Structure formats: C-alpha cells, structure tokens
C-alpha cells in the first residue's frame, strides 16, 4: 500500500511528530504495517485480550470504553485521525482493559510492536526518534490518567465540568474549542447522567460561564470557571 497520502496524518500523531517524508518512507518500509477498514460499531480490540500492535487512526473515529460489572461502559477516550491506541498495551503482556470500537467507518494502520522495539540493521535515525516519541507518548498518557483521576475525585458535577472545560482549553490553546465527544459520551467520561450534564451546562450557559454550540464550547471568562465550583 502507498502510505504517502496519509503522511500528514501520521505527522500529527505523537509517534511520528517531526518526521520528514524520507523518514516515513524508511519507517513504513522497515515496519511493513498493515491497514484495515472497520464499519461503524465494529470492534477493533476487545477488553480482556492482548495485542502486540500499535493502532493509528488514519480515517474516521474510534471510541475506547471500559466495561463495568453492571453491564454499563465508561468512555475513556474518543479519537479521530492521528489518534493512537494500544501504544501502552502493545509492549507488554497485559490484557486490554477497554473495548475499542469504530464510532464511524474508519481506516486503521497497525504497527507491529516487535518492529518498534527492535530496529532493523539499517539503524535509521528516524527509528531512534520514533522510540523517543513513543516514550513521550506513554508519559503523556500517564499524566492524562492522573488528570482524569483528579477530575473524577471532584464531588460536584459542576466542578468536573469546569475542570474538563479548562483542560480542553489548555489543550486547544484557545477559549473556543470543539470536542469529538457526544453529550452521552461526555456524560460517561464525567461519570454522570446525560440529563444531569445537559441541565448543568444549560445553567452554566445562563450564568455566562460557557457558550454552547453543539460539540463546540466558548469560555467567555476562563478565570470565572476556576472559582465557579
């Protein structure tokens, strides 16, 4: 397969950040990755199973959700093109704690972990950069998990919403940003009822704390959110 049409997508990932076309040519030739298309609702990885491949979203969207004992599921992440999954899991023997499902028709590139861990004899400089990027990716996800724990430890729903909005603002680098999460997925992410989430967001909009545009948000005065709960 010719991967060059997806080089810009790959460069937006944390794994291939800063790579040139020549770097990506060398790595794709070395790794011999494969791609697969999935229909909406199709399972990419089931909780309780191992994987030894790192997945990269080239097209479409996926959602990672942790199944709970009562049959419900908690959304952990929603990713579009340039999203990466199983990057922490693939290097060990642990089983996946989440189900990863196609949220829309998608195209996924799979990189064999063995090839990432053991460079070929050519020892491409890009491979060393990739390993460095991989470590940074895993580190970033560790701290993202810590922020998620801090969010879930917040007792009030408004507090969780405020923390989430401020985190999204920091990531976007702007007071206006969009999210891939639907209201139902955001409610699951914040561990609350969807109706309760919508009511609280409506109250916050009436108070001038946030402006809502479907999946987009605008924070008129971010400093107010820090003291709004």
Give me the CATH number covering residue 207.
1.10.10.10
Whole-number CA gyration radius for the chain: 19
Q: Are 86 and 53 in contact (CB under 8 A)?
A: yes
pTM over 0.75: no
Question: Could you tell me if 137 and 75 lie in one domain?
Answer: yes
Per-residue pLDDT, averaged over 12-37, amounts to: 92
**Dist. CA 139–CA 110, nearest whole Å:** 21
Look over the chain and give the mean of its residue pLDDT values, rounded to a whole number.
90
Q: Indicate whether 56 belongs to any domain.
A: yes
**Dist. CA 99–CA 75, nearest whole Å:** 10
Q: Indicate whether 149 belongs to any domain.
A: no
pLDDT of residue 103: 94
pLDDT of residue 122: 66
Question: Could you tell me if 206 and 126 lie in one domain?
Answer: no
Question: Could you tell me if 27 and 138 lie in one domain?
Answer: yes
Domain residues for the domain of 136 are 4-144
- Please count the other Cβ atoms lying within 10 Å of the Cβ belonging to residue 163: 21
Q: Indicate whether 47 belongs to any domain.
A: yes
Q: For residue 227, is pLDDT > 80?
A: yes
Q: Indicate whether 158 belongs to any domain.
A: yes
Among the candidates 144, 164, 191, a domain finishes at 144
Question: Which of 55-59, 119-123, 186-190, 214-218 is the least confident region?
Answer: 119-123
Q: Indicate whether 212 belongs to any domain.
A: yes
Question: Could you tell me if 74 and 165 lie in one domain?
Answer: no
Q: How does pLDDT run across 139-160, given as a tens digit for each residue?
A: 888 787 788 888 878 889 999 9
Question: Could you tell me if 159 and 135 lie in one domain?
Answer: no
Among the candidates 111, 144, 177, a domain finishes at 144
Question: Could you tell me if 24 and 125 lie in one domain?
Answer: yes
**Dist. CA 194–CA 192, nearest whole Å:** 6
Tokens of 95: 């089983």
Q: Indicate whether 175 belongs to any domain.
A: yes
Residues 185, 97, 101, 54, Cα dihedral to 10°: 120
Question: Could you tell me if 161 and 136 lie in one domain?
Answer: no
Question: Could you tell me if 166 and 195 lie in one domain?
Answer: yes
Q: Are 70 and 121 in contact (CB under 8 A)?
A: no
Question: Could you tell me if 106 and 180 lie in one domain?
Answer: no
Question: Could you tell me if 39 and 74 lie in one domain?
Answer: yes
- Please count the other Cβ atoms lying within 10 Å of the Cβ belonging to residue 218: 14
Q: How does pLDDT run across 184-195, given as a tens digit for each residue?
A: 889 988 989 999
Q: Are 45 and 102 in contact (CB under 8 A)?
A: no
In the chain, how many domains are there? Answer: 2
Q: How far apart are the first and last CA of the chain?
A: 52
Give me the CATH number covering residue 63.
2.60.120.10
Q: How does pLDDT run across 94-135, given as a tens digit for each residue?
A: 899 999 999 999 999 999 988 887 777 666 788 888 888 988
Question: Could you tell me if 161 and 129 lie in one domain?
Answer: no
């Amino acid at each position: 397969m010719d991967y060059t049409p997806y080089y810009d997508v790959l460069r937006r990932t944390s794994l291939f950040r800063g790579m040139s076309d020549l770097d990506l040519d060398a790595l794709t030739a070395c790794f011999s990755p494969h791609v697969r298309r999935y229909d909406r609702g199709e399972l990419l990885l089931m909780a309780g199973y191992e994987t030894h491949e790192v997945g990269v979203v080239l097209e479409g969207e996926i959602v990672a959700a942790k199944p709970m004992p009562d049959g419900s599921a908690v959304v952990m992440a929603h990713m579009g093109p340039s999203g990466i999954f199983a990057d922490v899991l693939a290097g060990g023997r642990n089983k996946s704690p989440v189900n990863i499902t196609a949220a829309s028709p998608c195209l996924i590139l799979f990189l064999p972990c063995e090839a990432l861990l053991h460079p070929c004899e050519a020892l491409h400089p890009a491979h060393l950069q990739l390993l460095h990027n991989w470590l940074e990716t895993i580190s970033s996800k560790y701290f993202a998990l810590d922020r998620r724990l801090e969010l879930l430890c917040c007792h009030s729903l408004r507090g969780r919403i405020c923390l989430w909005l401020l985190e999204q603002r920091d990531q976007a680098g702007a007071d206006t940003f969009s999210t891939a999460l639907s209201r139902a997925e955001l409610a699951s992410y914040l561990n609350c009822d969807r109706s309760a989430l919508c009511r609280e967001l409506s109250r916050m909009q009436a108070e001038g704390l946030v402006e809502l545009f479907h999946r987009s948000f605008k924070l008129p005065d971010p400093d107010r959110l820090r003291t709004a709960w």
